Amino acid sequence: MDSRARVEAALAGGDVDRPPAGAWGHRYRDEWSPDKLAEVTIDRARKFGWDFVKFQPRATFFAEAFGAPYRSAGHALRAPVVDEPTIKDLDDWAALRVVNQEVLDEQARTLGVVARALGDRVPVLQTVFSPLSVASYLVSRENRKMVRQMRSHPDVVLPALGRIADALIDFSRKSVEAGAAGIFYAISGFATPDSMPAAVYDELALPLDLRVLEALPAEAWFNVLHLCGSHINMEVGRKLPVQAVSYSIHNQGNPSLGEARRLSGKAVMGGLEQRRVLVGGPPEAIQEQVREAMASTDGGRGLLLAPGCSVPPQAPDVNLRKMMEAAAA
């Protein structure tokens, strides 16, 4: 089987010669240059033999499109920084608009470079944050304050989130036109009772998620929901129209891969602990996590092996290779 056939079979819950596998992580300096980002993405995909590529632009570019003045930290291991939040009060929500369309279009074009280089047998996913996840960067990650405002002033905050959703729909469509097989739709820390009760999420946030995902073109055949955080609400995975759910089994209160398959009715992506094991090893720990992931899913049925979230940039190549070797063992 080639990579695309392996992914298609896994999404359908069918037989595979081995589970498809891939990983992703930030390269903070390279992410500010479209040419360098494309180059490093293509190089790593070929070097490690990923079956799928989750495109990894800088996490702040969605917020930059809405005027957030993020800038490079100038360090290979540090994320972009900003001096003050773009959204400071309710009036700022009302005024929120896209002010930098080019930063969105640039990332869609850069994905296209990667997709053309790798060919249509290696699916490439475009990263798309949920409206709430984009807004988190606009408030400089003061998520509790933002959720309070959303609940107490939905008449002000929800229309702004709707405008973010519309920009994400346009971005997603352009990304698929550029060659993306689908999107990696990331909900970062909100689909959990640690952030808000499930009923509140269903009332205020889920309609925005549906708005984005239901607007995807038919050509988007490989769409992944990423639920970031602990005690994640897997019901969100069941309710949203995606083909797979990505999350970390190693975060507190999260279900096993097999249980997530049952709860969501979807294929699952994950199994590897990214912050300690994929950074520090040892190789035996990586091999054991791959074996456990396969055992949890009846021998790897409906499984796409991956880290639970972004792999830190200091992870050594030898550990990423060991992950792929273990997948093929």
Q: Where are the beta strands (DSSP E) in 190-295?
A: 224-228, 244-246, 267-272
| Percent with pLDDT over 70 in the chain | 100
- Rounded Cα distance between 275 and 309, Å, is 9
pLDDT at residue 62 tops 90: yes
- pLDDT of 80-103, one tens digit each? 999 999 999 999 999 999 999 999
- pLDDT of 271-311, one tens digit each? 999 999 999 999 999 999 999 999 999 999 999 999 999 99
DSSP secondary structure code for residue 142 in this structure: -
CB-based burial label for 15 (10 Å; 0-12, 13-18, 19+): exposed
- pLDDT of 14-42, one tens digit each? 999 999 999 999 999 999 999 999 999 99
Angle value at C-alpha 6, between 111 and 118, nearest 5 degrees: 30
Mean pLDDT, residues 225-241 taken together: 97
Phi, then psi, of 198 in degrees rounded to 5: -60, -40
Mean pLDDT, residues 106-117 taken together: 98
pLDDT at residue 76 tops 90: no
- pLDDT of 116-144, one tens digit each? 999 999 999 999 999 999 999 999 999 99
Q: Which tokens belong to 242?
A: 């995606």
pLDDT (0 to 100) of residue 294: 96
**Domain-by-domain residue ranges, the chain?**
3-328
- Rounded Cα distance between 25 and 312, Å, is 6
CA distances from 44 to 8, 138, 279, 324 (A): 22, 31, 16, 13
- CB distance 244 to 203 below 8 Å: no
Fold designation for 3-328: TIM Barrel (3.20.20)
